[in-house]
Amino acid sequence: MSSSEVDVVVVGSGPNGLAAALTMARAGLSVEVFEAQSTIGGGARTLELGLAPGITHDICSAVHPLAIASPFFVDFDLPARGLKLTTPEISYAQPLEGRPAALAFHDLEATVDHLGAAGPEWRRFFGPLLDRVDDAVWLSLGDKRSLPETLRDARGIANVVQFGLRLLSQSGPTWNIPFSHETSQALFTGVAAHAIGKLPSMGTAATATMLSTLAHAAGWPSPVGGSQSIIDFMVADLEAHGGTVTADARIDRVEDLPAARSYLLDTSALNAAQIFTGHLPTRVDKALRSFPQGNAAAKVDFVLNGPVPWSDPDVARAGTIHVGGTRAQMAAAEADVAAGRMPRHPLTLASDPTVFDPSREVDGLRPLWTYCHVPFDCPLDPTEYITRQLERFAPGFRDTIVASHAIPASEMAAHNQNYIGGDIAAGIVSFYRMMARPRLAWDDYSLGIPGAYLCSSATPPAPGVHGMNGWFAARRALKNEFGISEAPSLAP
């Protein structure tokens, strides 16, 4: 280590790393952030890939319901800082073969009307959760160790019970009872698959219930200009409070870093163990190295010469499209992935940012963001799989393709070190592993030695661009290492 000491060193500049860094900087501490890549942002970067002049691509995340709904970002208040968001009238769509797509509108009643005979059961499921959306958010995005704010009054307790009952209903073999129509089943399951796990399960049910509730509350917005806009505002705030960020700074061992009173790692559990090799208690080191990886994603960024020719034109009005067909088809595809088999029709997510942000189109060309679910560390090029899947619901899609750039799951870690084998969740997402993430301990963020914390998606509450993992880790470090019990305000 160098002899110059700072208060806090953060490894990794993803949303969680920056959330931790700016929280510490706002508490008056000196903070340095180190990023292995040449660009800042981790899972929320927007880059030119050289496919067409001026066309930028969100190379990881693209749509951000939690960037305005998570408690961290509510306090940080991106809109008040000048972030422009587009919130589509239709949050997400589920194309279906030979029939109109199932659509989830931002407005619940519009969704109920659209679903027809399936509408009442959609309202029964989500209507009560919308009375106090913050209850669902806090339950889903809490640290799994402290009492959520939702449980501090009788109404909150009742809402948590309702939320829990809905998770149970969608986590086992009875999942077709609350949703008895093919349209509502498919619409819910497409969101559940964001967790990239077995269908049905508690982990996928929790993901779908929370994200679908937000779809009818704050909506599923996207930042104008791309995901990098979120990162730029976070970096600006960090630097305004004296923090620094250094890119092209891969850290292999803690000895590569400046001496500091506290280290916060926005890395995978395995990378954290490797960085602190020889320093961690044996039980902690073993737990970090054995934290199981989840199923994977493979990415394709397309350049198109026009909009995707969806069979149902209404699909183009949605910010996010879940391309997987029926509930049974998606469950079968995810079962293949879990078994290590590449599905013929892998579940695919797509988003066309130009529909809501015309600035993304250049000289008649536009980006299309896609990824599909594949087995862990799968080396296959996903381009043809995704193209064929989109052609099922958008005949002629192949003819709109001008260029494409693929990243197989086995290569995902090259552009984000946390995405080992294509596991974009930095560890398996199951109900147990939402609680014991990455190990079973009272403090999942602690690395077992004074001053060292893990603050990535490998900790509670779960993956996503919400900043909560970093915020929770930073608050523990503030209290334990610096005697600061009250978290600083993040407001502009």
DSSP letter string, 8-24: EEEE--SHHHHHHHHHH
pLDDT by residue for the chain (492 residues), tens digit each? 444 689 999 999 999 999 999 999 999 999 999 999 999 999 999 999 999 999 999 999 999 999 999 999 999 999 999 999 999 999 999 999 999 999 999 999 999 999 999 999 999 999 999 988 888 888 889 998 887 666 667 877 888 889 889 989 999 999 999 999 999 999 999 999 999 999 999 999 999 999 999 999 999 999 999 999 999 999 999 999 999 999 999 999 999 999 999 999 999 999 999 999 999 999 999 999 999 999 999 999 999 999 999 999 999 999 999 999 999 999 999 999 999 999 999 999 999 999 999 999 999 999 999 999 999 999 999 999 999 999 999 999 999 999 999 999 999 999 999 999 999 999 999 989 989 999 999 999 999 999 999 999 999 998 999 999 999 999 999 999 999 999 999 999
At 431 the pLDDT is 86
CA separation, residue 422 to residues 38, 58, 332, 410 (Å): 20, 16, 20, 6
Contact 15, 23 (CB under 8 A): no
- Among 427, 424, 449, 448, CA closest to 436: 427
Query: Which pLDDT value is given to residue 155?
Result: 79
E strands within 44-125? 46-48, 56-58, 85-86, 90-96, 99-105
- Which residues sit opposite 32 in a β-bridge? 9, 244
Amino acid letter, 178: P
Give the other-Cβ count within 10 Å of 51's Cβ: 16
- Rounded CA separation 470/43 (Å): 14
The pLDDT of residue 149: 66
Phi (first) and psi of residue 67, to 5 degrees:
-70, -15
State the pLDDT at residue 166. Answer: 93
pLDDT the model gives residue 1: 43
**Cα of 215 vs its chain's centroid, Å:** 15
Give the whole-angstrom CA distance, residue 29 versus residue 404.
44
CB atoms closer than 10 angstroms to residue 7: 18
pTM: 0.96
- Name the DSSP class of 160: H
Q: How many Å apart are CA 465 and CA 237, to the nearest integer?
A: 17
Residue of 241, 273, 269 lying closest to 254 (CA atoms): 273
β-pair type (56-58, 46-48) = antiparallel
Strand runs labelled E in 266-317? 296-304
Residue 160 has a pLDDT of 82
How many residues would you count in the chain?
492
Task: Give CA separation, 187 vs 88, 167, 239, 343, in Å.
Answer: 17, 16, 42, 20
Identify the pLDDT of residue 4: 61
CB-neighbour burial class of residue 484 (10 A; exposed 0-12, middle 13-18, buried 19+): middle
52 SS3 class:
coil
Collapsing DSSP to helix, strand or coil, 305 comes out as coil
Which among 285, 290, 291, 289 is positioned nearest to 448, based on CA atoms?
Answer: 285
Q: What is the DSSP letter of 5?
A: E
